Amino acid sequence: MYSLEVRNIKMKYDNFTALSDVSLKVKKGEFVTLLGPSGCGKTTLLKIISGFITPSNGNVFINNEDVTKTPPETRDTAMCFQSYALFPHLSVLQNLSFGLIQRKVDTKKRSQILEEVVAQLELTTELEKLPNQLSGGQQQRVALGRALVMRPEVILFDEPLSNLDALLRESVRIEIKRIVKLFNLTAIYVTHDQHEALSLSDRIALLHEGSIIQIDDSETIYTSPKNKFVANFLGSSNIISAKLIKKGNKKNEWIFQSEIGKLVVYSEEVSVKPDVHISWRSEKVTFNKSSDNKIKGKIENIFFLGSHYEVFVKVNKEIVKINVSNKHLLNKEITFFLDKRDLKILED
């Protein structure tokens, strides 16, 4: 049984299609992130799940119950807004209690729930304060607490960290993950930040132009992008066009001719198209001579990024990007290696 199921959702605004045939199933306690660039339809999908938008077509099920036409006020979801949306005239305690009072939860149970959430979010000393007396991180915690006290079947996050500074973002991110796991909540999280998505999610649904392009766990979606868009959007990828020469001698080995030379690629596909795109992550280069693919090029640009150097290397006519942590390797020319398992054949 799924906590949330989105079935064949379509959303059209006059001539513009915001979502086209989107389906998604989320298990109880799963953390799914809707990731994508601005305008890809991720917030529209979140608003459909929360009930603020009724889809043109398709259905939303929560705990197997069709809630497509159920208004947000009676739907078993709770949303954490990008702007926090705290009620500015109410104290922290009143903000936290608001939903419970609306749902007519009796005073004893209300106190019990509030006490637990307040303690977990470390808001005990802030209860009498108004939202404008809190820091950004505290406001975020109140917004999270306000949603948590509702004990919703599905908790929804609409880019909740986008208004926080980098340092605070990291601590609130850890907090969100901890709380969601602690209360075993089913969470749908919208973001355009790949780091947030990768670090928080059990699964990531990557949206592009109103469709889910790929949905997989963080590691799979990162290491095995399905197509050029996914490879480009998530992490730093090199994508090169290549032609199939032949099947390799070893099992699942394919040999390609590309602009950076011959490449040996490992793929479990039964058949491979003659013209493909091959991608590899810039951090996947090694300087271990036993690797399958040896590539030599001229260094064009070097950028120091703290933990490593981002190096642009000209290989034949192609510029590729690699991450190098050892400064001594950075001469005029560089030779690096790619493991055949780190090269991915992209669809389309």
Asked whether the beta carbons of 186 and 27 are under 8 A apart, the reply is yes
CA atoms of 292 and 236, how far apart (whole Å): 21
CA angle (264 as vertex; 262, 269 as ends), nearest 5: 130
Q: Which H or E element spans position 177?
A: helix 166-182
Interface size with other proteins, residues (CB under 8 A): 33
Question: To the nearest whole angstrom, how small is the minimum distance from the Cβ of residue 35 to other proteins?
Answer: 21
When asked if residue 246 is in the footprint of other proteins (CB under 8 A), the reply is: no
When asked if residue 116 is in the footprint of other proteins (CB under 8 A), the reply is: no
Strand stretches in 218-291, DSSP E: 237-247, 253-258, 261-266, 275-281
When asked if residue 83 is in the footprint of other proteins (CB under 8 A), the reply is: yes
For other proteins, which stretch binds (CB under 8 A), given 109-117, 132-140, 168-176, 262-270? 109-117
When asked if residue 274 is in the footprint of other proteins (CB under 8 A), the reply is: no
When asked if residue 71 is in the footprint of other proteins (CB under 8 A), the reply is: yes
CA atoms of 144 and 159, how far apart (whole Å): 12
Closest alpha carbon to 40 in 216, 209, 172:
209
When asked if residue 92 is in the footprint of other proteins (CB under 8 A), the reply is: no
Question: To the nearest whole angstrom, how small is the minimum distance from the Cβ of residue 111 to other proteins?
Answer: 5
CA atoms of 178 and 255, how far apart (whole Å): 45
Amino acid (one-letter) located at 229:
F
When asked if residue 127 is in the footprint of other proteins (CB under 8 A), the reply is: yes
The residue among 140 and 194 lying less far from other proteins, judged by its C-beta, is: 140
Question: To the nearest whole angstrom, how small is the minimum distance from the Cβ of residue 202 to other proteins?
Answer: 24
When asked if residue 60 is in the footprint of other proteins (CB under 8 A), the reply is: no
Which residue ranges make up the site for other proteins (CB under 8 A)? 50, 52, 71-74, 77-79, 81-83, 85-89, 93-94, 97-99, 101-103, 107, 110-111, 114-115, 127, 146, 150
